Structure 1
Amino acid sequence: MRAAHLAALTTLPSCVWRLLLAAGFSMGYQPEWMAANASSAADRVYLVALSLVTEGLALLTLGLVRPWGERLPSWVPAIGGWRVRPLAAVVPASIGAVALVLLWSLNPLLYTDLFHDPLEPQGGWQLLMATAYLPLVLWGPLLGLVTWAYYRRRCTDR
């Protein structure tokens, strides 16, 4: 239960960071970067949508420990009340966990020049950004742990 809640919370700091960018706060980025990446309406919609989708996906982890992960709520149109087949949750969650581990474990290697770009946040802003994105490294392993527990609970001991 705790791992599921932690997994859902790992995305929150980076989502807040992006939402503040979408709201027009520079977050330490230089004006040239802001003009190219966060000034148009499309840029802002993208930042908000990315944050909402990210947090929504992270919140799905809770389905692996809550009753709605075993039986769909009655308010869901057409399929409400149906039993969730365990592999219908385990397979996408496992793929997601592996993808997240690969994405966030390789991330430092892909962005080694991040802190050398003069348009990127520097100093305290750099530290704040790293602090906001660092919890994402835990998202994949936590999702994997919760998925394994769900699998063991739903698919074994029959």
Structure 2
Amino acid sequence: MTPPPTTPPRWAVRAAHATALLVLPSGLWRIALALGHPAGYTAEGFADFQSPDARLWLVVLSVVSELLALLTIGLVRPWGETLPRWVPYVGGRAVPTRPVVVTAGLGALALTALWAGIPWWWTYPHDGMTDTGHLVVGILYQPLVLWGPLLAAVTLSYHRRRTRHRTTA
């Protein structure tokens, strides 16, 4: 039985929207690389990004990252509880809570682990980058540290909201 929808807390809505925004700076930087701007790399360091495969990878990584971050908004919007009617075959059906919570929870853990080292960006050598590029890229990637924890918090809010009215039989 799917519980009746409830309004998400304001903090969860803000956190969900923040995830989409905090992924944007690093994605825009990668797209600049893909478009041929050295974006903080020396000529030698930038050479690795000149192949069509590398450029495609940078764009795909940026778009997929942003789309995944945007999915967090579904945890605070009605379409995260009931699929929109326009979705073929399954439109109008309730979104099952458990798979969403498990997937988002695992994603939060993976993102937290993936970006945990970013605060120490400036202590790692980055051959092929200019000093200014090294500084700017570090700043652009710092917000990603928050992606996993924010996703975890919004996921917990979603879980509590969706399971609050369940009755045990």
* TM-score w.r.t. length of structure 1: 0.91
The aligned residue for residue 101 of structure 2 is 90
Which consecutive aligned stretches of 4+ in structure 1 deviate over 6 angstroms post-superposition?
none
Structure 2 CA distance for aligned equivalents of residues 65 and 16 of structure 1 = 25
Select which of 129, 132, 144 maps to 1:120. Answer: 129
Query: Displacement, 1:111?
Result: 8.4
* Uncovered stretches (5+) of structure 1, i.e. residues with no partner: none
> In structure 2, how many angstroms separate the alpha carbons of the residues matched to 1:77 and 1:20?
36
Deviation at 1:26, TM superposition (A): 0.3
Q: List aligned pairs for 1:96-115, cutoff 5 A.
A: 96-107=107-118, 112-115=123-126
Bigger Cα Rg: 2
Where does residue 158 of structure 2 map in the other structure? 150
Percent identity over the alignment? 50
Partners of 2:124 and 2:138 in 1: how far apart? 14
* 1:136 partner letter: L
Q: CA RMSD in A?
A: 1.7
Unaligned runs of 5+ in 2: 1-12
**2:119 touches 2:142 (CA, 8 Å); kept in 1?**
no
Match of 1:43 among 41, 54, 70: 54
Alignment coverage as a number of residue pairs:
154
Matches within 5 A, 1:123-142: 123=132, 125-142=133-150
Match of 1:79 among 90, 101, 104: 90
CA offsets 1:100-142 (integer angstroms, 9 cap, x no match): 1111113456984334x2x12313x222111110000000000
